[in-house]
Amino acid sequence: MLRLEKLVKTYKTGDQALKAVDLEIPEGQVLALIGPSGAGKSTLIRCINRLVEPTSGKVYLAGTELTGLSAGALRKERRRMGMIFQEYALVERLTVMENVLSGRLGYVGFWRSFLRKFPQSDVDEAFRLLDRVGLAHMADKRADELSGGQRQRVGICRALIQNPALLLVDEPTASLDPKTSRQIMRLICELCKERGLAAIINIHDVALAQMFVQRVIGLRFGAVEFDGPPDGLTPDVLTTIYGEEDWEATIEKVDDEEIDDTIEAAQ
């Protein structure tokens, strides 16, 4: 579904953020990207939708090569890649509804979007998605009135209304408390399963990644150090990714039932 071939990114400063990364993600697979700060996680997912231009290498999305596309063709392909951000990146002064509908900008002409005349099918879909994440009653609120968890849910809706085949998720839980983090991760993974989406999730919290994903990639200095199932993250592996540390205490299995309870209580 998504294939990266020898993807290299060298910044103008000379920092090599990505060193010939090869990666293949099959349809519907949710993958966690872990690694220390500065390992190139953010750069990697931004090179996929070319928010950051890769220096060399190829990116294939369902057979289409992205790095050589013209601006117009790239915009069309970006619609197939929903992105979710660390600090939510909602347009703060627009309403929740406008933020969700902004996910359709790639499909709607300028004047229609400028005058907020989105097709009724888009509006229906926006309400459906907001309902799915439990924010239907918030549609008219301004984005800056929402709490962190609520904002991230709006961010998820904005990505999903694009009708993407792939989600690029950049530290979705870094600004959230532990409980909300789990709820958001669970929501993202559930939605991916419902819609058969592949996802790349950048995440710092190794335990959280282990709980929810099927595959983990460990990145260190812009190179893939680990690629395997979440169970394969032994202390030794974590040491090769992050460096020396006492890992035993921090990668304990989290009790899943307990989290189910808290989510039910929250709903």
CB of 220 to another protein, least distance (A): 25
The gap between the terminal CA atoms of the chain, to the nearest Å, is 34
Buried b (16+ CB within 10 A) or exposed e, 239-266: eebbeeeebeeebeeeeeeebeeeeeee
Residues in 155-174 at the binding interface with another protein, rule: CB under 8 A: 155, 158, 162, 168
Instruction: Determine the Cα–Cα distance for residues 104 and 156; give it in Å rounded to an integer.
Output: 13
For residue 168, give the 3-state DSSP assignment.
Answer: strand
Which residue type, as a one-letter code, is found at position 266?
A
Instruction: Determine the Cα–Cα distance for residues 182 and 259; give it in Å rounded to an integer.
Output: 8
Among the residue ranges 26-34, 58-66, 105-113, 236-244, the one whose residues contact another protein (CB under 8 A): 105-113
The answer to whether 103 touches 162, Cβ cutoff 8 Å, is yes
Per CB under 8 A, does 195 bind another protein?
Answer: no
Per CB under 8 A, does 114 bind another protein?
Answer: yes
Per CB under 8 A, does 92 bind another protein?
Answer: yes
| 2, 39, 44, 83: residue in contact with another protein (rule CB under 8 A) | 83
Per CB under 8 A, does 140 bind another protein?
Answer: no
Residue 72 tokens, joined: 């117009």
Per CB under 8 A, does 43 bind another protein?
Answer: no
CB of 247 to another protein, least distance (A): 32
Contact residues toward another protein (CB under 8 A) are: 49, 51, 75-79, 81-83, 85, 87, 89-94, 98, 102-107, 110, 113-114, 155, 158, 162, 168
